[in-house]
């Protein structure tokens, strides 16, 4: 955890991945992030994966370091408390992250009446307000049609919610950008981050919109790397490695390690191409190249190839399960300084990640686990809304907070 946003107060009314991950990013950069939920928990409070006691590992992963207040959002008085939190005064407040609908009691218009300079960052499904999640947006933009074996036309859904994760990061970036402007001009902002627009803009940035307009949909090609040389191969001892050769150095290093320079040179001469100079040619003629590489891998053990690849400047990786990575890979988990061991609300003790960015000259601060639901209700009501003990007690008595 770092202190780049120390002193900033962010109020979060969101569920699932994109909104809460935006709050997580800001909390891990030092902001005070106050998440409000319905009493008993929101729609993601019991989402899988679960701990043995039924607690959501998903929820406690996405809400590390935040404060939690539980409100009866089904009653006007409870909704009023949520609005008051989002619009509470102070130069360091007035930032609201949400995935609630555009219209309603948490609309930007309603909040702006209470605080003129409020910054509202709203993660959405479709830009027109229609409901959607990462997986339905991904289906709509055609990525599952490009994924999977070439001889099977069934769509392949991804398991990584890429648009949700990108949405959370983009929402945090947008909030920070709006803060910079507000500090210079005093002007707030309403920012909408639809997953549909994130997907469409990302595919446009990558050239894929232009690609389909010029030449139609990209065909499925299994594990082949589009536009260059890359694929998985099986070694003599049964391990599966992936190699990627995009740059000339990566390509020539791969040929040297596998002793394929002469054989590949013969293919180049026959086709009148230079694979070293043209990465696209390696992709176009991959059917001629792959059998050579399959045979070369099949003659060598992985344990001999790995150091040779490293010495030769080859870009490679080994397929492994997440369990293997978590328990055996020091680069990712076992000795990675991103992780600190915490005892979580589920009662489990396990490593938790801090911010993915590293400030090279600054030490990482201690991480805080996710809160218990409603753990900070009284503290937030007192410190942010200025309520005294009697007023807070009455709210409890009336069942408006927990």
Q: Which residues have a catalytic role annotated? A: 164
Cα(97)–Cα(14) distance, rounded to whole angstroms?
7
User: Which residue blocks in 272-342 are alpha helix, DSSP H?
Assistant: 279-284, 286-298, 302-311, 322-328
Hey, what's the torsion of the CAs at 299, 304, 308, 314, to 10 degrees?
70
The three-class DSSP label of residue 121 is strand
Strand order in the sheet with 32-38: 67-71, 32-38, 9-13, 95-98, 119-124, 189-194
Structure tokens at 312: 């030769």
Contacts of 206 (CB under 8 A, 6+ apart): none
Question: What is the C-alpha separation between 47 and 70, in angstroms, rounded?
Answer: 18
Token pair 């694979």 is found at 275
Contacts of 317 (CB under 8 A, 6+ apart): 241, 242
């Amino acid at each position: 955890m770092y202190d780049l946003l120390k002193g900033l107060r962010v109020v979060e009314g969101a569920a699932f991945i994109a909104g809460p991950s935006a709050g997580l990013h800001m909390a891990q950069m030092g902001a005070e992030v106050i998440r409000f939920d319905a009493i008993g928990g929101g729609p993601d409070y019991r989402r899988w994966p679960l701990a043995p006691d039924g607690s959501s590992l998903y929820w406690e992963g996405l809400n590390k370091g935040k404060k939690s207040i539980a409100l009866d959002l089904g009653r006007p008085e409870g909704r009023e408390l949520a609005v008051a939190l989002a619009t509470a005064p102070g130069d360091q407040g007035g930032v609201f992250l949400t995935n609630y609908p555009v219209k309603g009691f948490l609309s930007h218009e309603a909040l702006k009446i209470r605080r003129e300079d409020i910054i509202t960052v709203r993660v959405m499904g479709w830009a027109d307000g229609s409901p959607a999640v990462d997986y339905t947006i991904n289906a709509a933009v055609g990525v599952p049609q490009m994924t999977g074996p070439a001889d099977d036309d069934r769509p392949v859904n991804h398991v990584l919610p890429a648009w949700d994760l990108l949405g959370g990061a983009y929402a945090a970036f947008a909030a920070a950008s709006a803060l910079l402007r507000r500090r210079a001009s005093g002007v707030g902002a309403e920012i909408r981050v639809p997953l549909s627009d994130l997907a469409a803009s990302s595919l446009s940035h990558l050239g894929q919109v232009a690609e389909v307009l010029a030449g139609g949909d990209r065909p499925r090609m299994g594990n082949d790397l589009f536009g260059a040389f890359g694929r998985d191969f099986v070694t003599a001892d049964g391990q599966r490695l992936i190699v990627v050769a995009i740059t000339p150095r990566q390509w020539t290093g791969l040929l040297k390690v596998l002793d394929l320079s002469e054989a590949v040179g013969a293919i180049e001469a026959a086709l009148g191409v230079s694979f070293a100079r043209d990465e696209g040619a390696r992709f176009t003629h991959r059917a001629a190249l792959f059998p050579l590489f399959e045979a070369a891998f099949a003659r060598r053990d992985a344990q001999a190839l790995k150091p040779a690849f490293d010495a030769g400047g080859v870009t490679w990786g080994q397929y492994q399960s997440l369990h293997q990575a978590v328990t055996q890979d020091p680069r990712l988990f076992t000795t990675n300084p991103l992780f600190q061991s915490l005892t979580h609300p589920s009662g489990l003790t396990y490593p938790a990640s801090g911010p993915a960015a590293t400030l090279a000259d600054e030490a990482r601060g201690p991480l805080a686990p996710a809160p218990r639901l409603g753990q900070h209700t009284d503290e937030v009501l007192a410190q942010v809304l200025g309520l005294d003990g009697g007023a807070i007690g009455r709210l409890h008595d009336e069942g408006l907070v927990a």
